[in-house]
Amino acid sequence: MTQSITTLIHHPYVPPAGFDAPQPGVFKASTVFFPTVAAMRSREWKDKSAYTYGLHGTPTTYALEERLCTLEGGLQCLLVPSGLAAVSLVALALLKQGDEVLIPDNAYGPNKALAEGELKDWGISHRYYDPMDPNDLDAKMSNRTRLVWVEAAGSVTLEFPDLPALVRIAKGKGALVALDNTWGAGLAFAPFNLLPANETPLGVDISVHALTKYPSGGGDVLMGSVITRDAGLHLRIKLAHMRLGLGVGANDAEAVLRALPSIELRYRAHDETTRILAQWANAQPAFVQVLHPALGDSPGHAHWKSLCKGGPGGAAGLFSVVIDPCYSQDQVDAFCDALNLFRLGYSWGGPISLVVPYDLASMRTAWPAHIARGTLVRFSIGLEAVEDLQADIAQALQILG
From candidates 76, 88, 106, 155, binder to ligand PLP by CB under 6 A: 155
Selected binder of ligand PLP within 51, 108, 342, 379 (CB under 6 A): 108
Footprint of ligand PLP on residues 244-283 (CB under 6 A)? none
What residue is closest to ligand PLP based on CB?
83
Q: Between the CA of residue 362 and those of 79, 109, 219, 366, 377, what are the distances in Å? A: 32, 11, 27, 9, 14
* 371 part of the interface to ligand PLP, by CB under 6 A: no
Q: Is the peptide bond before 153 cis (omega within 30 degrees of 0)?
A: yes
Cβ(161)–Cβ(303) below 8 Å: yes
Q: How far is it, in rounded angstroms, from Cα 227 to Cα 305?
A: 25
Considering the complex, state which of residue 157 and residue 182 has its C-beta at the smaller distance from ligand PLP: 182
**DSSP 8-class letter at 53:** B
CA distances from 68 to 46, 52, 245 (A): 18, 22, 21
Sorted by sequence, the CB contacts under 8 Å of residue 178 that are 6+ apart come out as: 90, 147, 148, 149, 150, 204, 205, 206, 207, 208
Q: Which stretch binds ligand PLP (CB under 6 A): 76-84, 92-100, 122-130, 235-243?
A: 76-84
Contact between 335 and ligand PLP per CB under 6 A: no
Closer residue to ligand PLP, CB minimum distance, 282 or 347: 347
> Of 59 and 219, which has the nearer Cβ to ligand PLP?
219
Helix (H, G, I), strand (E, B) or coil at 315: coil
Residues 40, 34 contacting (CB under 8 angstroms): yes
The binder of ligand PLP chosen from 95, 102, 158, 222 (CB under 6 A) = 222
Q: Is 227 a residue that touches ligand PLP (CB under 6 A)?
A: no
Binding flags for ligand PLP, 191-220, as an x/- string (CB under 6 A): -------------------x-xx-------
Instruction: Figure out which of the listed residues 29, 347, 357, 386 binds ligand PLP, where binding follows CB under 6 A.
Output: 347
Rounded to 5 degrees, φ, ψ at 133 are: -135, 90
Q: Where on the chain is the footprint of ligand PLP (CB under 6 A)?
A: 82-84, 108, 155, 180, 182, 210, 212-213, 222, 224, 347
